[in-house]
Structure 1
Amino acid sequence: MGKHKKWLVSLGILSTLVFSGCGREAESATAGNNEDAETVIVGTGNVYQPFVYLDENNELQGYDVEVLKAVDEKLPQYHFQFESMEFKNILTSLSAGKVRLAAHQYAYNEERGAKYLFGEVGYNNYSHHIVNDASQGEAYQTLDELAGKKVFVVPGTEVAAILEAYNQENEDQIELVYTDAAGEILVKGLQNGTADAAVLTQYDTNKYNEQFNVTLQASDETITNDKTFFVYEKGDEELQKAVDGALQELIDEGKLEKLSEEILGADYTK
């Protein structure tokens, strides 16, 4: 894959910061098959459904977990042991050497790239679209069409930086409505005119439509183009390359697409 695009986490991921949770350990399905296998502690969250979460039996589930279990099946030299924790503690634990791999729908950005080693093979699409409620009119296709409109923006994100840079070059034509709102609050805001548009991934757009029985529509083109990656300590290229190689095999075999369809409801791997 080429150079990573430099964007921050989406509204959905940022929203997990308000939750707290206890740590939990779980081994992958292949643990113990090879007595000489090296244990890899995977740090992940526990409240970001359907990517990483604890089910009603307090068992760790989700797309990220199942992808890594499939990866582990292809790497007999390793077995993965999952430790769930609060989102804010995952990368801190990676820096402290408490975990060796971080998995929580991480998109690349310059700040993280300076501290950590990112995989080169993405496992989920992380592109962002301009989104509005269909009852408010046609879909917005470009930033130019947002002139004079109010747009929800999460402060401090790369999406915010893109819109702020656009405004600097275009005399503040877009009215930025800074908010951490997500879910029902964001959807209602798009319906009642608090904002005319937001910037969301296709997955979040589809999820909100199904969850709240609404008709959000996304632009055909994206304003960011990125994927999510697993994250490692600097210098751990051996593990990174092994996982990337297994991920590419899963892509080539169609297994990753199948997992996305089963867990996320559609193929978000491309």
Structure 2
Amino acid sequence: MKTKLFGSVLAAALFAGVLSGCASNQSAGANASAAQSAGEPSAAAQVKTVNVALESGSKPLSFENDKGEKVGYEVDVLKAVDELIPDYNFNVELVESDATQIGLETGKYVLIGGGLYKTPEREQKYLIPNAINGVSLINIYVNEDDNSIKSLDDLVGKKLVPSTPNGGIFNLLTAYNKEHPDKQITITTGEGISVADRFKSVSDKQYDALVLPNNLGFTEIKKELGLKVKAVNPPVKINGTYFALAKDQTDLSAKVEQALKTLRENGTLSKLSETWYGEDTIKYFTE
């Protein structure tokens, strides 16, 4: 009798252990499934740290503040993107503009920024996610007392701040003159003129107008120097800006694209634009 009783107790204990193990496995599986559905990497997945590069000293896109912290519009956008991609961790470096593209081509970086436009040349060399990270507005800036200039047509006969030779603004104005042979804008060129000095020369009425992208720190410069300058609406041209990735980063590129779409849809990009540019530039861009 004792032998039979002991055997019955042992069998019951073993059966209870099996049930307990099954329950634990089911609970662990459910927790893992819940974590994955919440956008978190599973325990088996490993977070991959990758090096990404933005331009240094490029206010307000990306720069170091007085505390040595990396700040700026694109810095904040990358932080928001990183939060939406749990299986990647971005190690952000600020480097000279030339070093970003060289680093991307040599494999030092997997992603770069810098207010990049989408061009056929860049699309051939890099992966460009089909989602903007921001918007660059080409504006005409005039003295706050001047209400005579509303568009490029009104720059005919006006004295413009010199443009960088063969730069984007020079090419824009040159293209206008080719399209309007009977309305010629007087284009002068000059190098080594700081952005602050360009705005100041308009505020001081040395020049009638300045044509520049909005993402060169106008709001901050105007406030710091107390300038009497305003941007003419609507913008002359609207360009989406993009991140560029190495050709072998197809997985990351797809995830960055989806994250940027989400950030645009939920209003994050607009809020960051208002923070760094003083207005929602995202609203100007249409696909």
State whether TM-score is above 0.5.
yes
Residue 150 (1) aligns with residue 163 (2): no
Partner of 2:141: 131
C-alpha distance in 1, partners of 2:204/2:149?
Answer: 17
How far is 1:128 from its partner? Answer: 0.7
3-state SS of 2:238 partner: coil
Checking the alignment, whether the CA contact within 8 Å between 1:167 and 1:173 is kept in structure 2 is yes
Q: Distance in 1 between matches of 2:205 and 2:271?
A: 38
Structure 1 counterpart of 2:58, one-letter code: Y
CA distance in 2, matches of 1:154, 1:265: 26
Matches within 5 A, 1:231-270: 231-270=244-283
Q: Are 1:38 and 2:48 an aligned pair?
A: yes
**Compared with structure 1, are the counterparts of its residues 217 and 265 closer, same or farther at alpha carbon in structure 2 (3 Å cutoff)?**
closer
Q: C-alpha separation between the residues in 1 aligned to 2:223 and 2:166? A: 28
| Matching residue of 2:67 | 57
Q: Structure 1: how far apart are the matches of 2:232 and 2:276?
A: 24
Larger radius of gyration: 2
Is 1:183 the counterpart of 2:192? The answer is no
- Does the Cα contact within 8 Å between 2:127 and 2:247 map onto a contact in 1? yes
Quickly say closer, same or farther: Cα 1:260–1:80, change in 2 above 3 A: same
What secondary structure is seen at the aligned counterpart in 1 of 2:141?
strand
Tell me, in whole angstroms, the C-alpha distance in 2 between the residues paired with 1:200 and 1:188: 13
The answer to whether the 8 Å contact 1:123/1:256 transfers is: yes
Q: Is the 8 A contact 2:219 2:278 kept in 1?
A: no
SS at match of 1:81: strand
1:242-261, Cα deviation, whole Å (9 max, x unpaired): 11101111222222223333
Preserved CA contact (<8 Å) 1:44 1:52: yes
Q: CA deviation at 1:139?
A: 4.6
Q: Quick one: which amino acid aligns to residue 47 of structure 1?
A: G
How far off is 1:233 after superposition? Answer: 1.9
Hey, what's the Cα distance between the residues in 1 that align with 2:80 and 2:86? 12
**Partners of 1:216 and 1:46 in 2: how far apart?**
26
Which structure: greater strand fraction? 1
The one-character-per-residue Cα deviations of 1:182-218 (angstroms, maximum 9, x if unpaired) are 3331123224454321112345443333232223222
CA RMSD in angstroms comes to 2.6
Whose helix proportion is higher, 1 or 2?
2
State the match for 1:104 in structure 2: 114
**Which residue of structure 2 lines up, in the alignment, with residue 26 of structure 1?**
none
Alpha-carbon offset, residue 52 of structure 1: 1.4
* Cα contact 2:219–2:277 (8 A) shared by 1: no
Task: Report the alpha carbon displacement of residue 89 of structure 1 after superposing the two structures with TM.
Answer: 0.7
Is the aligned partner of 1:195 residue 2:204? no
Q: TM-score, normalised by structure 2?
A: 0.73
| Shift in CA distance, 172/266, structure 1 to aligned 2, threshold 3 Å | closer
Do 1:205 and 1:217's aligned partners in 2 also have CA atoms closer than 8 Å?
no
Contact 2:200 2:227 in 1 (8 A): no
Amino acid at match of 2:235: T
Aligned residue for 1:166? 176
What is the Cα deviation at residue 82 of structure 1?
Answer: 1.3
State the 1:161 CA deviation: 1.2
Question: Where in structure 2 are there 5+ consecutive unaligned residues?
Answer: 1-40
